[in-house]
């Protein structure tokens, strides 16, 4: 009975989502014309679709998309790994947290856009400045989630493990690490979308490849449809990254209760 109700809710949600998508696409196609909005401000969907084919053939859209996707993947993985490592370090060592937290906070407060020109001055118009900006943006949410999770581990469990002569490594791998996994994946979800922002910032500041460069090129040519194509492809890259994190999360945290629609029914 519960499964049938959940399945019905999922079907209704999917139908509603498809209906909203169709309505949005229809509004995009005919709405600007009906409202008298010039096409150079909001081009209709058909113009964007035509420009997509042209960008694929003329502007090497697959190449730019692939470069941006690779930079997003590298920045996300390195930023997540660094954030998790620092989060565990600070969570297990109050002394390290007290010593390093002010500097980490200062790094987070500093606007990431300001680092992009500096990285480009250091490393030139390569992929490395874009990846570094993505690492900076992804690092903080993953680090904070991991640190909070380690700090919130039930102390009675740790005391019980110590009573059974468990080593520090055993306490970490058997208690702290598993307990931190759900919050860490929450941070990874956020980081997967922020990685796209970091890469685009780097590509907008300087570069000759990537969707950010293509977006700037379209702006310089007053080619609004090409700008929309770049935005759509960036959204697609971010959506795929987010979906991959969700699939990995479901695989790793398969032992947790399902968080689908109608879970409390």
124 three-state secondary structure:
coil
Are 172 and 87 spatial neighbours (Cβ–Cβ below 8 Å)? no
pLDDT digits (tens, 9 = 90+) for 23-43: 888 888 888 888 888 878 888
Highest mean pLDDT among 69-83, 89-103, 122-136: 69-83
Report how many domains make up the chain. Answer: 2
Q: Distance (Å, rounded) from C-alpha 96 to C-alpha 86?
A: 10
Q: Which residue has tokens 């996707």?
A: 69
Q: Distance (Å, rounded) from C-alpha 213 to C-alpha 200?
A: 8
Q: Does the residue 261 lie in any domain?
A: no
Residue 239 CB neighbours (<10 A): 13
Domain with 205 in it: 43-252
Q: Are residues 48 and 160 in the same domain?
A: yes
Q: Are residues 180 and 58 in the same domain?
A: yes
Q: Find the helix or strand (DSSP H, E) in which 95 lies.
A: helix 94-109
83 is written with which tokens? 């954030």
Q: Distance (Å, rounded) from C-alpha 146 to C-alpha 91?
A: 8
Q: What is this structure's pTM?
A: 0.84
pLDDT digits (tens, 9 = 90+) for 42-57: 888 888 899 999 989 8
Q: Are residues 220 and 168 in the same domain?
A: yes
């Amino acid at each position: 009975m519960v499964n049938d109700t959940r399945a019905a809710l999922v079907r209704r949600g999917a139908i509603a989502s498809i209906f909203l998508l169709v309505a949005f696409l229809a509004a995009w196609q005919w709405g600007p014309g009906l409202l008298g909005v010039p096409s150079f401000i909001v081009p209709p969907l058909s113009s964007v679709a035509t420009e997509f084919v042209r960008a694929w053939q003329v502007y090497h859209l697959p190449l730019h998309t692939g470069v941006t996707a690779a930079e997003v993947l590298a920045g996300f993985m390195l930023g997540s790994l660094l954030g998790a490592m620092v989060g565990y370090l600070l969570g297990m060592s109050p002394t390290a947290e007290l010593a390093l937290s002010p500097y980490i906070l200062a790094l987070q407060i500093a606007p990431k856009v300001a680092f992009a020109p500096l990285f480009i001055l250091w490393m030139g118009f390569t992929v490395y400045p874009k990846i570094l900006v993505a690492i900076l943006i992804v690092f903080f949410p993953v680090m904070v989630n991991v640190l909070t999770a380690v700090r919130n581990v039930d102390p009675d469990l740790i005391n019980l493990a110590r009573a059974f002569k468990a080593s520090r490594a055993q306490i970490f791998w058997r208690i702290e690490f598993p307990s931190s996994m759900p919050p860490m994946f929450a941070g990874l979800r956020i980081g997967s979308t922020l990685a796209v922002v970091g890469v685009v910032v780097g590509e907008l500041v300087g570069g000759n490849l990537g969707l950010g460069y293509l977006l700037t090129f379209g702006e310089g040519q007053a080619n609004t449809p090409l700008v929309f194509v770049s935005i759509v492809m960036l959204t697609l890259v971010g959506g795929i990254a987010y979906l991959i994190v969700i699939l990995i999360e479901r695989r790793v945290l398969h032992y947790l209760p399902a968080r689908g629609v109608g879970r409390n029914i």
